[in-house]
Amino acid sequence: MKEIERPTRNNLEGIGGWLNPSRYGWERISYWFQRLTGVFLLVYFIGHVYETSTIVNGQNAWESFLELTQTLWGHLFLIMVIGASTFHSANGIRLIFTHAGIGLGTPGRPDYPYNPASLNYRQKSGIWIALILAAAAMFYGFNVLFGV
């Protein structure tokens, strides 16, 4: 790829541009959730690896660390993990299909008011399914952890 001369960075939206996803519809909100849950799950996995590694220090160290997850905040954190992983997986599957060109529609002759073929009902349904699955998984996790 031809190297582009690096001009001034002024007026770049940067990560701040991600913080207001409501301007561009559900697809942008889904993008924001996918990034947010991805970073959250990365933090969780690093913590999880650290947590499981405490077993090398003996059973007491392992159990004392495990008790952290048995608190109110520990349970809420795990419910967040359940919701994030469910949304990230379900929405990720949708994105795998779109990256493969599946479910996007075909190019044609655009007519006013120019509804984009790629932002069709299949994509919106996929996003809603991912959100509903995440909510259902969090609800199930809440029932299991809090015994409601």
Contact residues: another protein, CB under 8 A: 1-15, 17-18, 20, 23-25, 27-28, 31, 34-35, 95, 98-102, 104-105, 107-112, 114-119, 123
Positive/negative CA dihedral, 81, 82, 88, 89 = positive
Find the shortest distance in angstroms from Cβ 71 to another protein: 35
Find the shortest distance in angstroms from Cβ 44 to another protein: 21
Alpha-carbon distance of 83 to 85, in angstroms, equals: 6
Instruction: Kindly tell me which of 56 and 111 has the beta carbon lying closer to another protein.
Output: 111
Burial of 145 (C-beta count, 10 Å sphere; 0-12/13-18/19+): middle
Find the shortest distance in angstroms from Cβ 108 to another protein: 6
Alpha-carbon distance of 88 to 31, in angstroms, equals: 10
Instruction: Kindly tell me which of 5 and 148 has the beta carbon lying closer to another protein.
Output: 5
Instruction: Kindly tell me which of 47 and 116 has the beta carbon lying closer to another protein.
Output: 116
Find the shortest distance in angstroms from Cβ 121 to another protein: 13
CB atoms near residue 119 (< 10 Å): 15
Residues 135, 83 contacting (CB under 8 angstroms): yes
Instruction: Kindly tell me which of 2 and 60 has the beta carbon lying closer to another protein.
Output: 2
